[in-house]
Amino acid sequence: MLRTLTALALLGLVAAPATAQTYPDRPITLVAPFPPGGVADQVGRPLGAAMEKLLKQPVVLQNKPGAGGAVGMASVAQSRPDGYTLLVALSSISIIPEADKLFNRQPAYTMDQLAPVALLSADPTVMVVKADSPWKTVKDFVEDAKKRPGQIAYASSGVYGTLHVAMEMFAVAADIKLRHVPFSGGGPAVTALLGNNVQALASGPGPVLAQIKAGTMRPLAGWGDKRIPALPDVPTFKELGYKDVEFYIWAGLFAPKGTPAPAINTLREATKKAVDDPDFKKTMENQGSPISYLDAPEFQKFWDVDAARLAVAVKKIGKVE
Amino acid sequence: MIETLQNLALGFSVALSPHVLFYAVLGCIVGTLVGVLPGLGPLAGISLLLPLTFGLSPTTAIVLLAGIYYGAMYGGSTTSILMRIPGEAASVMTCVDGYAMTQKGRAGPALAIAALGSFVAGTLSVVALMLLAPPLAAFALRFGPPEYTALLLLGLIILAYMSSGAMPKTLAMATLGLVLGTIGIDAMSGFIRFTHGVTELGDGIGIVPVAVGLFGLSEILLTAGKDTPPQVYKPKLRELVPSGEDVRRSIAPTLRGSVLGFFIGIIPGSAHIISSFVSYGIEKRISKRPEEFGHGAVEGVAGPESANNAAASGAFVPMLALGVPSGPIPAVMMAALMIHGVAPGPLLMEQQPALVWGFIASMYVGNIVLLILNLPMVGLFVNLLRIPYSYLYPCIVVFCVIGVYAVNSSVVDVWIMIVTGAVGYFLRKLDFDMAPVVLGLILSPMLELSLRQSLAMSAGDYGIFLHRPIAATMLAAVVMLFVLSLWPLIRGGGDWRSRVGLDEKPG
């Protein structure tokens, strides 16, 4: 039995090398550079499900957390460009190389190692505190933070990760000092807030919506230009007078640079259809992050503009920790 | 209480409906296969098979996935016991005494005790899950970085009790493991450390390739180096069944393992891996026959196997009670629910009673299914050992290579396995123990991250470990255990070298 099994397993591995006509002829891996429970995971898994129906091959999400996403992003950037290893990345993809420049160190990856395939969602981050915390509004929070600088701790998705930069943006604008406790992604950061190990958190709406609805967390403000549809009563920082405090945690699909054009086109086509998949739409709506789809060329433009904006923001925040 | 029973009745009405029952059994079978394959652990298995559940209802989907999960936890021990190849990280400890039992011709009892222990632990922890989930979940969330650090230190001190060899050798091996664990991109700052330009090392050194190399490959090399080939083992039916003494000796370790595993399991994060190491350490420490550990002590199989199964159920506590993805596997299950249109959150138990209680009831059913499935398989698996070594070992090597490659589709992982296999061969020739290396490798990144997070929380003040009651209590236990381990050195007088084992008899 052992030998039969072995032979079968070997057969499976020695699959013919991919050619343009047959792509995809084996399972595709979507790398989410964060632990489960954050935005990349919440977008990536339903996307994989929808793409699988179209590509007729398993599309498996794999979590590769570490260093605010740098570990997973670098691993995809350096993987073989054959269309079988893709990346679901968040806005931090543009921040981390900037931070590397700031510290004058060898970057883990550069943005030109990755080619955009499609933008999937773009939600403003939202600031949440525990429901039993004394702060009812941003004003309460800022006043308290001014009284005890560096005392109020917040969790983030890693040093110069999305949730870190969003919070520091606000802290610079409000002229307060907060204590930063980095975790390896949005999921563990949410758990840290629920367990009272930190007192505040900037998060994509998806990972905290169920907690807000259940009354365990209180949203104070959103980072968007407009209010978040799922949270219509929560003001934006702009409304509250913090003009430049704007941050979106977007999720996009990337392939390593050099992936053959036919494979990229197959993926673009599949993504375009996937975002119209009723199950995918429903899942994204349920978790409070509506789809914002852009195809590769438009996404590249969006990315360039966003990266330039974030580069400015990172310089303004400067070196932290 | 009445309410719980009503809920449970509702749960069983769901879990025993033919449709759901079918998927529970299917999940258990698939899970057992996933667990038996070296390298392919429960997480990889669930992620790979998640897409198959998309056509199912949320309840059947989660029942199927849960079946795969604890099926894999059951199955993980099989290759550890028969071939000294850890199916997944949690069954590394089972390799030591489980395989020693096999070498003594007692593979049958070892497999049976592992299955029985898993059953008891699985069932007990579902009872605990059912009765205590909400208060326990609140407790589990209090495990922030400082508590985590203390828990990991406790795991590290357990090392001292784990090994049967000399203390300096154990410490050297643990250090090797800890050092190996620092390779890769630093999880806090993003600096790349010790990769020497090999980009695949950026993710760090995987636990599975190292464990398979150190335990499995080294064993094959050692056997090949013997003057006389080992005798092919011909099991008799009566030798498959554990003796009364085996069972008696296993009861207490199983119960201790269940409680310990459950409590470690409810803590968010990846700490559940250490539950089997801690259980082994405790069993060895309190055993009246510590000298038998490492040479086929049945307690060394019963304790860790129970602990890792109880931890598997414990991990569902924060998920069901609070909607928190407490570890990689519950998180994948939450994603599955989300894809099915169920939003897991703190209100899940109230809003979806049929789903939650159906799931809990299916865990009772699944444990029984697995026991029925696994006990007869003992005979089948043991018969694999009838294959002559000249055929069996090449097959095992191929299996290891495929399993390790499959986890990350990485050839570098296969090289890591081969190199650690060769290193393990030489180290074992020199009487070094391999388990501390693996535990060090598991603990190192977690310990580093949680220590640095703790200090970020306190702005660099080490007092944080003393101000938090849970952390302080655990650290007190660490200090106590450390002093206890030094006690014989202090009190015994005489030549301390004999106590640390430096003047071991050449063997």
Element (H, E) at A255: strand A248-256
**A191/B141 touch (CB, cutoff 8 Å), yes or no:** yes
- Domain assignment present for residue B19? The answer is yes
Q: What is the CA radius of gyration of chain B?
A: 22
Q: In which band, very low, low, confident or very high, does the pLDDT at B419 lie, cut at 50, 70 and 90?
A: very high
Amino acid occupying residue B216: G
Quick check: A191 contacting B, CB < 8 Å?
A: yes
B184-215 pLDDT, tens digit per residue, is 777 676 677 787 777 677 677 888 889 889 98
Residue of B nearest to A52 (CA): B51
B386-417 pLDDT, tens digit per residue, is 888 888 888 888 888 888 887 766 788 899 99
Q: In which band, very low, low, confident or very high, does the pLDDT at B493 lie, cut at 50, 70 and 90?
A: low
Q: Provide the mean pLDDT of chain A.
A: 82
Rounded-to-integer distance, Cα A102 and Cα A86, Å: 28
Quick check: A292 contacting B, CB < 8 Å?
A: no
Amino acid occupying residue B95: C
Rounded to the nearest 5°, which phi and psi values hold at B194?
55, 30
Mean pLDDT of A31-57: 82
**Ranges of each domain in chain A:** 27-124+249-317, 126-222
Picking from A308, A252, A254, A292, the residue whose alpha carbon sits closest to that of residue A91 is A252
- Supply angle C-alpha B433, B438, B443, rounded to 5: 130
Residue B82 pLDDT > 60: yes
Task: Chain B: give the shortest CA distance to residue A278, in Å.
Answer: 11
- Domain assignment present for residue B501? The answer is no
Q: Which residues of A touch B334 (CB under 8 A)?
A: 36-37
**Between A and B, how many CB-CB pairs are < 8 A?**
179
**A2/B185 touch (CB, cutoff 8 Å), yes or no:** no
pLDDT of the residue at B355:
84
**A49/B202 touch (CB, cutoff 8 Å), yes or no:** no
Cβ within 8 Å of A, B 486-505: none
- Domain assignment present for residue B323? The answer is yes
The structure tokens listed for A56 are 């007729």
Q: Which residues of A touch B269 (CB under 8 A)?
A: 188
Rounded-to-integer distance, Cα A90 and Cα A73, Å: 10
**A36/B331 touch (CB, cutoff 8 Å), yes or no:** yes
Which residues contact residue B315 at a Cβ distance below 8 angstroms, ignoring those fewer than 6 apart?
B265, B266, B272, B326, B327, B329, B330
Rounded-to-integer distance, Cα B207 and Cα B440, Å: 10
- Domain assignment present for residue B138? The answer is yes
Rounded-to-integer distance, Cα B483 and Cα B478, Å: 9
Which residue range forms the structural domain that includes residue B331?
2-489
Greatest CA span in chain A, whole angstroms? 71
The structure tokens listed for B121 are 């632990």
Task: Chain B: give the shortest CA distance to residue A64, in Å.
Answer: 8
Quick check: A196 contacting B, CB < 8 Å?
A: yes
Which of A5, A34, A71, A159 is the best substitution to test chain B (most B C-beta atoms within 10 A)? A71
Cα–Cα distances (Å) from A228 to A220, A291, B57, in that order, read 12, 13, 30
pLDDT of the residue at A15:
40
CATH fold match for the domains A27-124+249-317 and A126-222: yes
ipTM for the predicted complex: 0.77
Residue of B nearest to A49 (CA): B51
Residue B506 pLDDT > 50: no
pLDDT of the residue at B498:
52
pLDDT of the residue at B257:
93
- Domain assignment present for residue B319? The answer is yes
- Domain assignment present for residue B335? The answer is yes
Does domain A27-124+249-317 bear CATH number 3.40.190.150?
A: yes
Rounded-to-integer distance, Cα B179 and Cα B132, Å: 39
| Strand blocks (E) in B274-408 | none
Rounded-to-integer distance, Cα A199 and Cα B245, Å: 54
Q: In CATH, which of 1.10.3720.10, 2.40.30.10, 3.40.190.10, 3.50.50.60 is domain A126-222?
A: 3.40.190.10
Cβ within 8 Å of A, B 20-59: 47-48, 50-51, 54
Q: In which band, very low, low, confident or very high, does the pLDDT at B233 lie, cut at 50, 70 and 90?
A: low
pLDDT of the residue at B417:
92
**B395/A61 touch (CB, cutoff 8 Å), yes or no:** no
**A194/B456 touch (CB, cutoff 8 Å), yes or no:** no
Rounded-to-integer distance, Cα A180 and Cα A154, Å: 5
Task: Chain B: give the shortest CA distance to residue A18, in Å.
Answer: 15
This prediction has a pTM of 0.82
- pLDDT above 90 covers what percent of chain A? 8
With b meaning 16 or more CB within 10 Å and e meaning fewer, what string describes A291-315? bbbbebeebeebbeebbebbbebbe
Dihedral sign, Cα of residue B153, residue B157, residue B162, residue B165:
positive
Rounded-to-integer distance, Cα B28 and Cα B32, Å: 6
Dihedral sign, Cα of residue B223, residue B227, residue B232, residue B235:
negative
